[in-house]
Structure 1
Amino acid sequence: MTQIHTETYGQGPVLVMIHGWAMHSGVWREFARRLAGHCQVICVDLPGHGRSEAIAPYTLRQVSDALLKAIPVPKFTLLGWSLGATVAMDMADRYPERVKRLIVLAGNPHFVDKQDWPGVKADVLDGFAELLKGDVQQTLVRFLALQVNGLSHGKQLLQTLKLAMQECPPPRSEVLLAGLRILKTSDMREFMLSNRLPVSMIVGDKDMLIPPASGLLLRRLNPGIDLHLLESAGHAPFLSHAEQLISVIGPMV
């Protein structure tokens, strides 16, 4: 079985949190500790990220299955951020008996822009894939910079993200490329429009990767979705809007 690293904080109802592309659980350790005042928080490292072993083939289904096997409780609230949100949607879709509520943080069921769906331009992901063939570290720094671009405290947030990322060696390039493929090819829209689990979406109105329009469109198509738009927040609101985010998430668990 693939060795998946987890970090656990607090006691009570369980919230499982899955980080985003190229990161690891350390990126939101401080946020998790604060959130642990409301519940037990279990942070998991995606395969090949942080302190978790890689898997092959690196597909969305394989990633989801590896994480589910590592979660020690039968039922939990599930929060996924960015790439982690795509994984969380897949887990909730295929294993709804284990998920009490799904929280999509800065995620999009169809990450890439289409004529009928707002998302990031495909050439942005293709550009990162091309850059990974050269300097992995510089590519990751550019990705982090995109997450805080245009924010009033962007430089400070970028430094925080850099320090968190540097806690562990970066994922291997093949793992990073596989993660980009998952973002580029996954389509969880049918699930988000038809599932019966409680679902909440949290999106920053200044997110450069997740257009707020995607959340608004989802809620229009499925009024049962609980949507929260965070004012002046980018792609990492757990750093810039921690208290506001905790006040939203805490009562959901």
Structure 2
Amino acid sequence: MNLYFDTLGRGDDVVWLHGWAMNGAVWRDSVSGLVDEACHHLVDLPGHGRSGTDEALSLAMMVDALDAAFPYPVHVVGWSLGGAVAAAWAARSPDKLRSLTLVASSPCFMQRPDWRSAMPEKTLAQFAASLQDDWRGTLKRFISLQAMGDDAARAVARRLGDELFEHGEPGLAALSEGLAILRDTDLRADIGRLTLPVLLQFGDRDTLTPLPAGAWLAQALPQAELIVHRSAAHVPFISHRDAFVSAQRRFLASI
């Protein structure tokens, strides 16, 4: 498949992966503060934005598409679902990734008996069911949930809403398959094998990927640094843009 991405800046290659239902445009403001220091590729994941596909979405299929589009070593930044894709890519092709940044992401997005720092199964099931009746309303509710608890909740929700359809409307099948990936993904057994430098950027008010998930990753990853953005929810790169960019700049410069 043809993977769509915008490229900004010059220098070392940094690949940016967005979350469920969104597109690469969500990163534009953050990347604008880094264009003088690297070459940034703002990807539309398969089934999202302008990266249309007739294939069923899966974590493996997304990794295949990225591996083909970027056959050279890159730094990768992944938010939420994009973080899971990035971690799976790092586990499968360790020679391809120079560093990994996980933003409000998790190795396991749905609660399990031995994993409580995630969304309840009921919440994901409700979103999956409501997609069929009112997918636009479902996306608006999901955006509200991502911003909930943040000091800048209204501004964050407004920004995400403005960028939601910037690269076109998502397909219903891709949305449903993306939720299934969030429901089924559990990378905990693979995380400890990642030996590359990792930056973790989390908000302490995130209800979708709670901070204990970030703390778990910091313990499980041998070269991880955890940055906690106070009073931020699920989208710290919007609500705490300057602090997010500063941490990202310092991390990339250290490698």
Gaps of 5+ in 2: none
Could you say what secondary structure the match of 1:133 adopts?
A: helix
Task: Report the count of equivalent residues.
Answer: 251
Tell me what 1:94 maps to. 92
Could you say what secondary structure the match of 1:167 adopts?
A: coil
Distance of 1:64 and 1:217 partners within structure 2: 24
Gaps of 5+ in 1: none
Tell me what 2:130 maps to. 131
**Alpha-carbon deviation of 1:240?**
0.8
Could you say what secondary structure the match of 1:47 adopts?
A: coil
**Alpha-carbon deviation of 1:47?**
0.9
Answer yes or no: is the 8 Å Cα contact 1:80–1:103 preserved in 2: yes
Paired amino acid for 1:220: Q
Answer yes or no: is the 8 Å Cα contact 2:232–2:239 preserved in 1: yes
Tell me what 1:107 maps to. 105
Distance of 1:20 and 1:153 partners within structure 2: 19
Answer yes or no: is the 8 Å Cα contact 1:39–1:250 preserved in 2: no
**Alpha-carbon deviation of 1:222?**
4.2
Paired amino acid for 1:76: V
**Identity, % of aligned positions:** 34
Paired amino acid for 1:12: G
Kindly indicate whether residue 206 of structure 2 is the aligned counterpart of residue 207 of structure 1: yes
Tell me what 2:235 maps to. 236
**Higher mean C-alpha deviation, range 166-175 or range 19-28:** 166-175
Using the size of structure 2 for normalisation, the TM-score is 0.94
Distance of 2:192 and 2:31 partners within structure 1: 29
Tell me what 1:69 maps to. 68
Tell me what 1:166 maps to. 165
Could you say what secondary structure the match of 2:114 adopts?
A: coil
Distance of 2:35 and 2:190 partners within structure 1: 29
Q: 1:14-37 CA deviation, whole Å, 9 max, x = no partner? A: 111000000001122122222223
Answer yes or no: is the 8 Å Cα contact 2:151–2:232 preserved in 1: no
Tell me what 2:215 maps to. 216
Distance of 1:249 and 1:184 partners within structure 2: 29
**Alpha-carbon deviation of 1:43?**
0.8
Distance of 1:66 and 1:154 partners within structure 2: 33
Tell me what 1:120 maps to. 119
